[in-house]
């Protein structure tokens, strides 16, 4: 397999529309050369530029010459060593996603800046504060954990495309399998082509990250204020508790014995934090099972 053929196969795999663009160039190549003016009505300037960038088209006498017509035509044929797994489209963030991200960063400041924390927690206290007069604090934490488990599950199900995540994973798995097969038969040319494809597929890692992080932004946007409120109620890292009586409540827990909500259980992790995370994990699993929502990627 020539270098030109590998480059053509790589372009076609990366962008299916390049196949039509290359065919237009081949059809308009007179004497092995083609000019932009001959094809500008049928292909984009970006496609033309990529053909030049990949050295499929090289400088000619009157225009650009085909680097290797036979190699180009061979690259246009179905690739037996190529992947039949389509590359999923990259997820784009809406302006609301970006605004939620900025708001989340602002809410993070509340952990370090008292006035910000007090402002956010004071607003949340209007809703959650009355619960402290009705039920114990551990029940309030359970209510918050149930709420966060519910909306985090729904947000991930609604904003994260599991089929697209599966497609990303399927493509990487397909490349690895073809690479192993090429190594077993000592096919250096196929290995070179697969190596190029693997480098291009590195962008899939960014695509997977964006796909996973988008719902996380919204989850943090909704969770951080509630967490700051609990932080504010109990007091943490030297800050005064807004509800000293709640912070001083005693409870008995396995292994640790009698503790209060502001007792450090595992290093600096206080009892209320540990209880919240235990409840959150349990309720999240319960919500997923109850609503029959699958959180693992699907390649179907």
Each residue of 192-225: pLDDT tens digit?
877 877 777 776 667 677 777 888 888 888 888 9
β-strands 257-260, 250-253 pairing: antiparallel
What percentage of the chain carries pLDDT values higher than 90?
11
Contact 167, 299 (CB under 8 A): yes
Q: Which of 200, 196, 174 is nearest to 1 (CA)?
A: 196
Q: What is the pLDDT of residue 140?
A: 94
Q: What is the pLDDT of residue 4?
A: 81
Work out the average pLDDT over 259-265. 85
54-89 residue pLDDT tens: 888 888 888 889 888 888 888 887 655 545 445 555
DSSP state of 30: B
Work out the average pLDDT over 147-170. 81
Checking if the pLDDT of 145 tops 90, the result is: yes
104-125 residue pLDDT tens: 887 777 777 778 888 888 899 9
Q: Is the dihedral of CA 25, 27, 31, 37 positive or negative?
A: negative
pTM given for the model = 0.58
Domain extents for the chain? 3-76, 95-291
DSSP state of 132: G
Checking if the pLDDT of 253 tops 70, the result is: yes
Q: What is the pLDDT of residue 1?
A: 53
């Amino acid at each position: 397999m020539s270098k030109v053929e590998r480059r053509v196969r790589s372009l076609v795999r990366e962008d299916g529309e390049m196949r039509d663009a290359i065919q237009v160039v081949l059809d308009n190549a007179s004497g092995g050369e083609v000019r932009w003016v001959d094809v500008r009505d049928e292909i984009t300037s970006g496609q033309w530029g990529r053909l030049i960038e990949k050295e499929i088209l090289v400088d000619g006498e009157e225009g650009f010459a085909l680097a290797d017509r036979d190699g180009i035509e061979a690259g246009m044929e179905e690739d037996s060593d190529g992947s039949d797994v389509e590359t999923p489209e990259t997820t784009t963030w809406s302006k609301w996603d970006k605004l939620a991200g900025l708001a989340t960063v602002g809410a993070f400041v509340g952990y370090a800046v008292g006035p910000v924390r007090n402002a956010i927690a004071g607003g949340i206290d209007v809703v959650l504060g009355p619960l402290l007069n009705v039920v114990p604090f551990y029940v309030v934490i359970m209510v918050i954990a149930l709420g966060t488990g519910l909306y985090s599950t729904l947000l991930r199900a609604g904003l994260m495309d599991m089929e697209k995540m599966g497609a990303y994973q399927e493509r990487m798995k397909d490349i690895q399998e073809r690479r192993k097969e090429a190594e077993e038969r000592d096919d250096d040319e196929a290995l070179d082509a697969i190596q190029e494809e693997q480098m291009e597929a590195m962008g899939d890692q960014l695509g997977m990250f964006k796909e996973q992080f988008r719902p996380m932004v919204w989850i943090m946007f909704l969770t951080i204020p509630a967490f700051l409120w609990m932080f504010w109620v109990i007091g943490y890292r030297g800050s005064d508790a807004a509800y000293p009586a709640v912070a001083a409540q005693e409870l008995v827990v396995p292994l640790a014995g009698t503790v209060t909500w502001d007792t450090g259980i595992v290093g600096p992790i206080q009892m209320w934090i540990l209880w919240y995370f235990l409840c959150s994990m349990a309720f999240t699993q319960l919500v997923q099972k109850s609503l029959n929502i699958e959180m693992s990627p699907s390649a179907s």
